[in-house]
Amino acid sequence: MMTDQVGFFMWFAVKLIVLVGLGIYIVFASVIVRQEQLMAKTIEAASEKILSILTWLHLGAAIIIFALALLIL
Q: What is the pLDDT of residues 18-41, one digit of tens each?
A: 999 999 999 999 999 999 999 998
Domain ranges of the chain: 15-72
State how far the Cα of 57 lies from the Cα of 44, in Å rounded to an integer.
21
Q: What is the pTM of this model?
A: 0.85
Q: Is 15 exposed, middle or buried (0-12, 13-18, 19+ CB in 10 A)?
A: middle
pLDDT at position 72 is 93
State how far the Cα of 64 lies from the Cα of 11, in Å rounded to an integer.
22
